[in-house]
Amino acid sequence: MVGEPVLEVAGLSGGYGSIQVLFGIDLTVGHGETVALCGPNGVGKSTLVRMLAGLNRPSAGRISLQGNDITTVPGPKRVRLGMSTVIGQQAFGTLSVRDNLRMHAYPNGRHEEKAHTAVDGALAVFPRLAARADQPASTLSGGERQMLVLAKTLIQRPALLVIDEFSLGLAPVVVGGLLELVRRLAAVGVATLVIEQSVNVAMSIADRLLFMEHGSIIATHTPSELRADPDLARRLVLGGHAA
Ligand SMILES: Nc1ncnc2c1ncn2[C@@H]1O[C@H](COP(=O)(O)OP(=O)(O)OP(=O)(O)O)[C@@H](O)[C@H]1O
C-alpha cells in the first residue's frame, strides 16, 4: 500500500433484511492508492459501495475514514468528512453542465470567484464538457455524464473516491479519458476504490485488484502478478464458473 489507509473496512457483513450478502469484508485503500474490486455479477460489489456511501447499514463490522469510525455516520456527513461516491451517473438534468458543477463549488464557504476558478479548472480537464457547458445535463451522453460526475469530484477533492461500475457501457476511448483522470487524482493523493467488471480496465488503473465471490474477498493481486499468470485472472473472474 502507498501510505497510511484512508479507508479501512474490517469484518463488514450485512445485506437486505434477512438476506445476508456480505460476509466479513476486510480491505484498505491508502493515500494515493487505486484499488479495484472485481467479481462476477451478484457477488455483493454494489452492496459494499452502498454501505460505504451510508445508504445501507452493515449488521457487523467497521468502516473508518482517515482514522474516524464512520460506520454509523449518515451519508451526507461522510461527504463532509472527505468521501465522494459515484453511484450511477447522477446529475441534475434540467441544470446546465456548468450549473451542475457550480453546485459543488459553492459549499464549504468558498466565495464566488474561487467557485468560478474551480469550475473552470474542472472544465479544462474535460474539453467535451467544456464544449457543452451551457447545455442541460439531460442532453449529455452516458460517457459525458460520467465525465460530469468525475468533474464534480475534481472540485470536491475528496480524500476517498468510490466509483461503482466505472466503465460500464462506455466506449473504450471514453474509458481511456476517465482512467487518465483517476491517475491524476491518485497523483494528488486521492485514495480511490473502483468497482470494475473488466479485469483489463482494472489492471490498467489499479495498484491492487481485489476479487470477490459470494460476498467475500477471496484474493488480492497486483496487476503484474496477474499479467504473469493469465490463467489466474481468468479463474478469478469466472469465480465458481471456472472449469
Ligand atoms: N434491494 C435489494 N433487496 C434484496 N436483495 C438485493 C437488493 N439489492 C441487491 N440484492 C441482492 O444482493 C446480491 C448482491 O447484489 P449486488 O448488486 O451487490 O451485486 P454486484 O456484485 O454489484 O453485482 P453486479 O456486478 O451484477 O452489479 C444479489 O444477489 C442481489 O440480488
CATH of the domain at 178: 3.40.50.300
Residue 168 has a pLDDT of 75
Which is the closest atom of ligand 1 to the Cα of 40? 25
Q: Which helix (H) or strand (E) holds 51?
A: helix 45-53
- Name every protein residue with a CB atom under 6 angstroms from any ligand 1 atom: 16, 19, 21, 39, 41-47
Query: Which residues have CB under 8 Å from 224's CB, separation 6+?
Result: none
What ranges make up the beta strands (E) of 82-138? 83-86
**136 within some domain:** no
Q: Which residue has the higher pLDDT, 76 or 206?
A: 206
Is 0.95 topped by the overall pTM? no
**Range of the structural domain that residue 78 is part of:** 5-91+161-241
User: Quick check: 219 and 236 in contact, CB under 8 A?
Assistant: yes
Distance of CA 186 to the CA centre of its chain: 12
**226 within some domain:** yes
Q: Using alpha carbons only, what angle is made at residue 150 by residues 107 and 53, rounded to the nearest 5 degrees?
A: 70
Ligand 1 centroid to residue 140 C-alpha, Å: 28
Measured CA to CA, the distance from residue 149 to residue 171 in angstroms comes to 17
Ligand 1 centroid to residue 149 C-alpha, Å: 23
Question: Does 2 score more than 50 pLDDT?
Answer: no
**103 within some domain:** no
Residue 243 has a pLDDT of 37
Q: How sure is the predictor about 84, in pLDDT bands with cuts at 50, 70 and 90?
A: confident
**119 within some domain:** no
**131 within some domain:** no
Q: Using alpha carbons only, what angle is made at residue 54 by residues 50 and 55, rounded to the nearest 5 degrees?
A: 55
**26 within some domain:** yes
Q: Which of 21, 52, 59, 237 to mutate to test the pocket of ligand 1 (most atoms within 8 A of CB)?
A: 21
Measured CA to CA, the distance from residue 76 to residue 147 in angstroms comes to 22
Q: How sure is the predictor about 51, in pLDDT bands with cuts at 50, 70 and 90?
A: very high
Ligand 1 centroid to residue 155 C-alpha, Å: 31
Measured CA to CA, the distance from residue 32 to residue 207 in angstroms comes to 10
**What is the ipTM metric for this complex?**
0.96
**19 within some domain:** yes
Please count the structural domains in the chain: 1
Highest mean pLDDT among 49-58, 84-93, 102-111: 49-58
Ligand 1 centroid to residue 213 C-alpha, Å: 12
Residue 125 has a pLDDT of 80
Question: Atom 6 in ligand 1: which residue has the minimum CA distance?
Answer: 16
**146 within some domain:** no
